[in-house]
Structure 1
Amino acid sequence: MKTAEFDKAFDAGEDVTDAIDWSRARRRNDQLKRVNVDFPAWVVDALDKQARHLGVTRQSLIKLWIAERLQ
């Protein structure tokens, strides 16, 4: 399937999953890059409390919140 055909089918809401070679699929800009951020103790405590409430790790919570804000 050519790109134009794929885009047209996708935009029309058709199921295009059979046209995708999932073994070759890659996420763009998915390379991890480590950063260090210093927070006051009260922020870390509040993050830990919220993370426990949601059943996730502090790191996951921070990543989620930052990603949501950037979108």
Structure 2
Amino acid sequence: MKAKTKAETFDRKFDADESIIDHLDVDKARRVGTKTKRVNVDFPAWMVQSIDREARRLGVTRQSLIKLWLADRLDQSRATVNN
């Protein structure tokens, strides 16, 4: 019965927007779907220069900017398909 009590306490705290961090083992926590896979993409030099310029302006790396742009585009595409 102890496990059920823990689950009920967890659910109650979560539903009440209370902290549940004490009930979690964050050292073992992993985000779903974040396994990475390396890909190689060739861009024209002018495009790399433009990406680098925008990345510097935003204070992020080239890789971060490309991932952000791709994620935004995929979200837009997904939203279009779902409507």
TM-score range, shorter-chain basis?
Answer: 0.7 to 0.9
Higher Rg: 2
1:68 to 2:72 alignment? yes
For structure 1, the residue ranges without an aligned partner over 5 or more in a row are none
Note the aligned Cα RMSD (angstroms).
2.1
Cα-to-partner distance string for 1:30-57 (whole Å, 9 max, x where unaligned): 2110111222222211100001112221
Q: Which residue of 2 aligns with 1:34?
A: 38
Decide whether aligned partners of structure 1 residues 26 and 53 sit closer, same or farther in structure 2, where only a CA change above 3 A counts: same
Aligned positions of 1:47-62 closer than 5 A = 47-62=51-66
Aligned letter for 2:30?
A: R
CA gap of 1:36–1:7, structure 2 versus 1, over 3 A, is farther
TM-score (norm 1): 0.73
Which structure has more relative contact order (CA 8 Å, sep 6+)? It is 1
Provide the TM-score with structure 2 as the length reference: 0.65
Extract structure 1 runs of 4+ deviating beyond 6 A: none
Supply the distance in 1 between the matched residues of 2:41 and 2:21 (Cα, whole angstroms): 40
Unpaired runs of at least 5, structure 2: 1-5, 76-83
Structure with greater proportional helix content: 2
